[in-house]
Structures are given as structure tokens and as C-alpha cells.
Amino acid sequence: MTLKIDIQERENELVGKGTIDGIVPFYFKDQGHRWMVRIGPEWILKQNEASVEPSPSPATARSKMYWAIAQYRNHARDHSLGSARPEPGGAGRMAGDAAGA
């Protein structure tokens, strides 16, 4: 994974814009008590926090960015595998199928 991002520190917020893997658009905004990330055209994650920091630090923001990217990758992986994976011991039943249906 490659994350190329320009980080701008503004009054009481930190904004990061760039790409993941050189092609997927990435946008991050941290206001300390809340933050959000948008990856690609549709995936958005928003979080509220009880922050004691008056403004976000770049180190904390980077941790949030990498955590959000991991969530995005897990979501993409789960959706690409989706119901095509049989459940263990499910005798061919697909995940998401109703039991006994």
C-alpha cells in the first residue's frame, strides 16, 4: 500500500488530501473531537471522539488515517469475497443464506 498525501494544518483542524496506491482518491479531516475520511468516490468513515487535545497532532492524524485505510481494505475484501465464500461446515451453503432455507 502506498499513501501519498499532503497534510495541511489549519486552525483547530488538520486536512490531508492525496491518493492510495497512486489511483484511489483519499481525503481526511481531523478536528480533534471528530474526524472523517473519504476513500474513493463512495466510502466514508466518520468518528466522534472525546478529545483532550485542542487541535489534532500530525502523529495522531496519521494513526487515524492508517486505521481508516485498514477498515476500507477490510470492507473491500469482505465485499469482494461476499457471499461467494461458503460457511465452514455449511455443506455448500453460502454466507448470508438463511439457515435451513
Separation CA 92–CA 44 (nearest Å): 34
| pLDDT tens for each residue of the chain, 101 residues long | 688 999 999 888 999 999 998 999 999 999 988 999 999 999 999 999 886 677 788 898 999 999 999 999 998 888 776 544 444 444 333 333 344 43
Q: Is 32 within the bounds of a domain?
A: yes
Q: Would residue 99 count as lying in a domain?
A: no
| Residue 86 placed within a domain | no
Contact between 26 and 17 under an 8 Å Cβ cutoff? The reply is yes
Distance between CA atoms of residues 50 and 8, nearest Å? 23
Question: What is the rounded CA–CA span in Å between residue 50 and residue 38?
Answer: 21
Does 38 reside within a domain? yes
DSSP 8-state code for residue 78: H
Q: Does 95 fall in a domain?
A: no
Its domain, for residue 65, covers 3-80
Does a structural domain hold residue 41? yes
What's the total number of domains in the chain?
A: 1
Look at residue 13 and tell me if it is in a domain.
yes
